[in-house]
Amino acid sequence: MSSDKEIFIPKIHKELGSHHPINQMKDSIMNLLSSFGFDIINGPEIETEKYNFDMLNIKATHPARQMHDTFYIENKSYLLRTHTSPVQIRAMLKNKPPLAFISGGKVYRKDDDATHLPMFHQVEGIYVNEDVNFSQLKDLIYKIIYSLFGEDVKLRFRPSYFPFTEPSAEVDILSSEGKWLEILGCGIVNPIVLQNCKIDSDKYSGLAFGLGIERIAMLKHGISDIRDFYKSNLDFLSQFK
Amino acid sequence: MKVAYKHLLNFLDDKPTIDDLSNKLFQLGHENEFKNEIFDIEFTPNRGDCLSLIGLARDLNAFYKTNLKLNTYKDRIESLSMNFINQSAHDCPSISFLKIEIGKIPKKYHDYLESYFLDLNIPKNNFFADISNYISYEMGQPTHAYDSAKINGQIVFKTIKDNVEFRTLTKRKITLSGLNSIFTLNEEVINLAGIMGGETTCCSLDTTTALIECAHFNPEAIIGKAVKYDLHTDASHKFERFVDPDCHQEVMRRFIQIVEDHTDIKNIEYASYQDKEPAHKKIPIDLKKVNKILGLNISKDIFKSYLTKIGFLFEAEFIEVPSYRNDISHQNDIAEEIARLIGYDNIKPQKITISSSGLIHDLDKVKKIKSILVDNGFVEVVNQPFIKFQSNGSIAVDNPLDINRKYLRTSMTDSLVNNLIFNEKRQKDNIKLFEISDIYTMHDGDIVKTNKLCLIISGRAGRNFKDFSKKLDKGYLSELLKDLFQIKPSAINEVSRKALNTKIKSSIFSCEVDINSIDFSSHEQGIDIQDYGIKINMEKCVQYRAISEFPSTYRDVSFSITDYKNIEDLLDTISKVKSKNLKESFLFDFFKNDKAGEVKAGFRFIFQSINKTLTDIEVDEQIDYIINQGIKINGVYVQGYKRV
């Protein structure tokens, strides 16, 4: 028989919790963009049509403004922001160029299926200065994508359309299965938007980009159903320690 | 939009391969895929001009030699005396009518027309409607064919606000409400403008005289109607995105030509109404600005050559925008055209250095709170804000996704209670959750935002031999919150289980506070904000393992160890044991029985299958295997268990 002195007492390991994977991804991307020189700004989730649409050159007849796409409040006096761009509009109205802002957070659209939810998260950035151009936008996008997916990833730019940028582009990466996957939207800020924010569009130009956090998180973690993020299942959440 | 490769080739003299064509379409911004030589092309909403064979060929002229000339009727056409009034020229600035009478309805279509229906799997309707549909595919202009014999009175185009009944040509009865642009015949609605014609005046298989309407509608008069009435048509899709106002003559002459290709025409008459001549947009030539926008240095000749290829005209100091390009209005639009033709991927990146404004928004407090809670075993959840019940200050959504999610939550506690119950139903017995979110309420007509923290706890204090038998209680939460955040115990509430439909009896405690009320000032230790890593890469990223929706089951095993020096070996063996469907295991009991001269080590083994509910036999087989790994160690046995 052994003596008392020889008894091994097991260690008690501290049980750590976990940050939500979407917030982890959002904060990681915000940290990354901060390291590029962007400042973090915040804004309300309940917005007005003026900041969410009008100032961004999204016309009254644009489908995004219809009742089937946007959640309205108080007989359309307010709405749940459909993107984080109004945060940038508010910041541009308050500050003078050069401006380099990122805003991240919850946004809302009237969708609900395996790939869309009525609430999801975005990070958007804007940079306004003299002589900002499309070739520089490409450099920034390469930096972002390489940081997120490694420098071996193949990416492509394709023309797209957003009322607030012109030229506009969407960026895809090539998956390991050989499929192109849409990652972000970007473009040169439409001069109308700068003018709306009292910025001289002859002197200044800007670039803007936006990423859907859930999409990036799904790709990076190999998750196929967006709804898994919001079931609050501990078996799911505790995987992201 | 579905487009047959062979149809498009008819307009491309260079006859590119389908792969090359696909790549070029992609470069132009027309995302596409193809199967059996049929393209499925997705156009951005600003490019309504591309929604036809001619439109695509016009854009592809950037790369290929094209032939955009269509065979059209060349002879003189008699004028049509129409009983028509346009009461809303703003919504319909121009409109034309063609009355066409044929002798016989053709039994067969020419190859080009037959191929449209066959290759794209489009159902035929009647002769005039079929040509109308084909013309829309070929030229991008939707037309509507009325049976002329059914038009006996005055046609009026107007935009109305009244509620009126309308029966579509697909025999659907709709009540039009709000602003709608319509055509009426003797006060009866015969056409919802730009969307769909009506049942009473549409052509049939017997129609030999048709009245073809070719209109230009202001997109603003059309947008939203297809969704509102669930009438998604080719016409609505095109009119919402803008249709060339300057093509009516050619479209009508093409219509006549196609009719003539198939049968004898007895009579044709034409009438055209135009509020004002379509304005030809002109933009100053500013190559310097375009180069500045793109970060390029292209020459004027190249600039001119690119734009000319896609239909822009140069005159003196201006660029004249083609009538079909409603999306072009300033230098940035011109820059985008140049970039498309160069190819976005062919533009070299230029090094960028961001010079920030130095504005910093302090989010550190929230990060600190989160890190502290995670460090203390709390799991962060994120909930949707939409709930069923109204409470004081609730904000109602005008147009919720469903009526059971009409209000924005004014408190997070209910969401976290739901999260807790959800996990209890999945056999979780140690639950510590938190959420941080902005909460919005309405007070005296003002929207008030509060950044809140909510925590909830229930179940065992921990999954280790010291805490397993202890419960998460008010004392635990009080101490934690007081120590960490200076939150008073009065902020902690016990959640009643009465209304929760749960058999579990563990108490539930929650706390919901304004982030602003949290005070770190007396915190002794420096708080380390978790750095998630600035550079994320795939190697470091957690790869998600699918979770099971089948119930888990557990077995508790108490190992007796008489040879104390082998305790560590046992713990090590159990921690490393691999068994199918073993989800997790932990040491929940550890004590020395001096009287018996042995140490007891109690382990809980939790089993769960990803694709089925495990049977007792299956679990017992696995637990046998695990026990046998343990009792192989000298001086280790399980009371009453015989080695298998």
Q: Is residue A202 part of a domain?
A: yes
C-beta separation of B198 from B213 below 8 A: no
Interchain pair A17, B375: CB under 8 A? yes
C-beta separation of B83 from B77 below 8 A: no
Per-residue pLDDT of A42-69, as tens digits, reads 999 999 999 999 999 998 877 777 777 8
CB-based contacts of A183: which residues, under 8 Å, 6+ apart? A145, A148, A155, A171, A172, A173, A211, A215, A216, A219
Closest C-alpha to B128, from B111, B143, B145: B145
Pairing of strands B155-160, B180-185: antiparallel
- Asked whether residue B359 carries a pLDDT value surpassing 70, the answer given is no
Q: Does B443 touch chain A (CB under 8 A)?
A: no
* Helices and strands of chain A, counted as H and E runs: 7, 10
Q: Is residue A23 part of a domain?
A: no
Per-residue pLDDT of B425-454, as tens digits, reads 998 999 999 999 999 999 988 999 999 999
Per-residue pLDDT of B140-174, as tens digits, reads 999 999 999 999 999 999 999 989 999 999 999 99
Interface A-B, measured as beta-carbon pairs within 8 A, has a size of 312
Distance in angstroms (rounded) separating the CA atoms of residues B219 and B9: 30
Smallest Cβ distance to A135: which of B296, B383, B565? B296
Tally of structural domains, chain A: 1
What is the reported pLDDT for B534? 46
Tell me how long chain A is. 241
The pLDDT-based confidence of B242 (bands split at 50, 70, 90) is: very high
C-beta separation of B225 from B187 below 8 A: no
Q: Is residue A53 part of a domain?
A: yes
CB-based contacts of B503: which residues, under 8 Å, 6+ apart? none
Closest C-alpha to B228, from B186, B194, B262, B261: B194
**Six-digit token pair at B423?**
């996990």
Tell which of B46, B534, B574, B575 to mutate to test the A interface (max A CBs under 10 Å). B534
C-beta separation of A74 from B398 below 8 A: yes
The CATH homologous superfamily to which domain B78-274 belongs is: Phenylalanyl-trna Synthetase, Chain B, domain 3 (3.50.40.10)
Per-residue pLDDT of A134-169, as tens digits, reads 999 999 999 999 998 889 999 999 999 999 999 999
- Asked whether residue A70 carries a pLDDT value surpassing 50, the answer given is yes
Domain boundaries for CATH 3.30.56.10 within chain B = 2-60, 282-343
The pLDDT-based confidence of A185 (bands split at 50, 70, 90) is: very high
Q: Does B224 touch chain A (CB under 8 A)?
A: yes
- Is the torsion defined by CA of A101, A104, A110, A116 positive or negative? positive
Q: Does A92 touch chain B (CB under 8 A)?
A: no
Closest C-alpha to B156, from B248, B83, B217, B92: B83
Q: Does A58 touch chain B (CB under 8 A)?
A: no
Interchain pair B431, A117: CB under 8 A? no
Domain boundaries for CATH 3.30.70.380 within chain B = 553-638
Distance in angstroms (rounded) separating the CA atoms of residues B559 and B569: 12
What is the reported pLDDT for A2? 47
Q: Does A180 touch chain B (CB under 8 A)?
A: no
Interchain pair A231, B422: CB under 8 A? yes
Per-residue pLDDT of B207-227, as tens digits, reads 999 999 999 999 999 998 998
Q: Is residue A94 part of a domain?
A: yes
Q: Is residue A105 part of a domain?
A: yes
Looking at CATH, the fold of the domain delimited by B282-343 is given as Phenylalanyl-tRNA Synthetase; Chain B, domain 1 (3.30.56)
Distance in angstroms (rounded) separating the CA atoms of residues B132 and B144: 7
CATH class of B2-60: alpha beta
Chain B neighbors of A214, CB-CB under 8 A: none
Distance in angstroms (rounded) separating the CA atoms of residues B352 and A149: 20
C-beta separation of B376 from A17 below 8 A: yes
Name the residue range of residue A222's domain.
Answer: 35-235
- Asked whether residue B356 carries a pLDDT value surpassing 90, the answer given is no
Query: What are the residues facing A165 on neighbouring strands?
Result: A162, A189
Chain A neighbors of B339, CB-CB under 8 A: 134, 159, 167
What is the reported pLDDT for A14? 84
Domain boundaries for CATH 3.50.40.10 within chain B = 78-274
- Asked whether residue B457 carries a pLDDT value surpassing 80, the answer given is yes
Query: What are the residues facing A123 on neighbouring strands?
Result: A104, A211
- Asked whether residue B584 carries a pLDDT value surpassing 60, the answer given is yes
- Average pLDDT of chain B to the nearest whole number: 92
Distance in angstroms (rounded) separating the CA atoms of residues B595 and B560: 13
Distance in angstroms (rounded) separating the CA atoms of residues A126 and A145: 16
- DSSP letters, B610-640, are SSSPPPHHHHHHHHHHHHHHHHTSTTEEETT
What is the reported pLDDT for B362? 58
Distance in angstroms (rounded) separating the CA atoms of residues B120 and B629: 66
From chain B residues 25-64, the ones with a CB under 8 A of any chain A CB are 26-29, 31, 44-47
Per-residue pLDDT of B608-635, as tens digits, reads 999 999 999 999 999 999 999 999 999 9
The pLDDT-based confidence of B275 (bands split at 50, 70, 90) is: confident
CB-based contacts of B223: which residues, under 8 Å, 6+ apart? A61, A63, B240
According to the per-residue pLDDT averaged within each range, which of A26-30, A36-40, B144-148 is highest? B144-148
Per-residue pLDDT of B291-318, as tens digits, reads 999 999 999 999 999 999 999 999 989 9
Tell which of A77, A133, A216 to mutate to test the B interface (max B CBs under 10 Å). A133
Q: Is residue A16 part of a domain?
A: no
Distance in angstroms (rounded) separating the CA atoms of residues B524 and B517: 18
Tell which of B236, B398, B515 to mutate to test the A interface (max A CBs under 10 Å). B398
Q: Does A188 touch chain B (CB under 8 A)?
A: yes
**Six-digit token pair at B444?**
């005296």
- Is the torsion defined by CA of B338, B341, B347, B352 positive or negative? positive
Distance in angstroms (rounded) separating the CA atoms of residues B194 and B214: 10
Average pLDDT over residues B39-55: 96
ipTM of the complex: 0.94
**Six-digit token pair at A42?**
């915040």
C-beta separation of A30 from A122 below 8 A: no
Query: What are the residues facing B637 on neighbouring strands?
Result: B560
User: B553-638 domain in CATH 3.30.450.20?
Assistant: no
Other beta carbons within 10 angstroms of residue B543's beta carbon come to 10
The pLDDT-based confidence of A1 (bands split at 50, 70, 90) is: very low
**Six-digit token pair at B505?**
């009896």
CATH number for the domain that contains residue A210: 3.30.930.10
Query: What are the residues facing A9 on neighbouring strands?
Result: none
Per-residue pLDDT of B471-530, as tens digits, reads 999 999 999 998 888 888 899 999 999 888 888 889 999 999 999 998 876 655 555 555
Average pLDDT over residues B229-246: 94
What is the reported pLDDT for B278? 73
- Asked whether residue B281 carries a pLDDT value surpassing 90, the answer given is yes
Average pLDDT over residues B255-269: 97
Interchain pair A18, B542: CB under 8 A? no
Phi-psi region of B171 (alpha: psi -120 to 50; beta: other; left: phi over 0): left
The SS3 of residue A60 is: coil
What is the reported pLDDT for B153? 93
User: B364-517 domain in CATH 3.40.50.300?
Assistant: no
**Angle of helix B331-342 relative to helix B287-294, nearest 10 degrees?**
60
Distance in angstroms (rounded) separating the CA atoms of residues B31 and B50: 12
Q: Please compute Rg for chain B using Cα positions.
A: 37
**Which residue in the block uniquely carries the two structure tokens 């050989």?**
A178
Closest C-alpha to A185, from B29, B277, B143: B29
